[in-house]
Amino acid sequence: MLTKADADKILKANLINLLKRVNAGKTLTAADRALVAAAAAGLPTDVPASVTNKAQLAEALKESRQTLNNWTKDPTFPKPDRAGRYDVAACINWKAQSGGGQDKAPSILSEKARNLQLRNCILEDKLKQSRRLLLAVEEVKRDFTRSVFACKSKFLAIPGNLCQKLALMKEAIAIQEVLRASIIEALGEMEKSEWSKMECPQCKTEIKP
């Protein structure tokens, strides 16, 4: 049978490996998060990533069914997903934050696990921000492409719209003025477009066409 000292050594090695993973820019898996959450809360770390019923969840949290039933009445308690699965890491974290079962002083391993949780949360937030920025940039690119095609269509339409009128004109200056007015009109419509009101998603400065 595995002794507590041996179990702690294995847990310490697992936490070190997971920390290396996070430091390398890779977020924790659901199973990893459950293990780290359990270690941070001072619970046994042989917990599943998710469970499908309250009996399994009570066992993972090392609480009675009655206690768990009371907790689930709290609107802040993690809800199951559409498939009815509870996220064990989220439930363990809720238990820790609500003060459930926190009677003993944190151990060195639990502190290491909390530090790992924090680093993983920071990494996940950075990745979410990067994804949002990437989506915003792609949206600007799509809108810019649409505006370019719209602008191109307006300018290409000028000769066809003015050819008959210009054919009746003899003065070069008058022809020039008509063309100039048409170009100014096209540019004015471009300035009124949504593109002219956009902001750079990274620096939040207005984008000028």
Task: Give the angle subtended at the CA of 186 by the CAs of 141 and 175, to the nearest 5°.
Answer: 145
Share of the chain above pLDDT 90, in %: 39
For the segment 54-78, what is each residue's pLDDT rounded down to a tens digit?
A: 999 999 999 999 999 999 999 999 9
What does the DSSP assignment read for the chain? ---HHHHHHHHHHHHHHHHHHHHTT-PPPHHHHHHHHHHHTT--S---SEESSHHHHHHHHT--HHHHHHHHTSTTSPPP-TTS-EEHHHHHHHHHHTTTT--SPPPHHHHHHHHHHHHHHHHHHHHHHHHHHHHHHHHHHHHHHHHHHHHHHHHHHHHHHHHHHHHT---HHHHHHHHHHHHHHHHHHHHTSGGGG-B-TTT-PBPP-
For the segment 149-161, what is each residue's pLDDT rounded down to a tens digit?
A: 877 888 888 888 8
Q: Is the pLDDT at 194 greater than 80, yes or no?
A: no
Structure confidence at residue 151 (pLDDT): 78
Give the integer Cα–Cα distance in Å for 53 and 108.
Answer: 32
Centre a 10 Å sphere on the Cβ of residue 178 and count the other Cβ atoms it contains.
Answer: 15
Share of the chain above pLDDT 70, in %: 86
Tokens matching residue 52: 């499908």
Structure confidence at residue 182 (pLDDT): 86
Structure confidence at residue 209 (pLDDT): 45
Confidence bin at 106 (pLDDT 50/70/90): low
Task: Tell me the average pLDDT of the chain.
Answer: 84
**Mean pLDDT of all residues in 41-49:** 89
**Mean pLDDT of all residues in 127-137:** 86
**Mean pLDDT of all residues in 34-58:** 92
Q: Is the pLDDT at 143 greater than 70, yes or no?
A: yes
Structure confidence at residue 101 (pLDDT): 53
Structure confidence at residue 47 (pLDDT): 92
Answer yes or no: pTM beyond 0.95. no
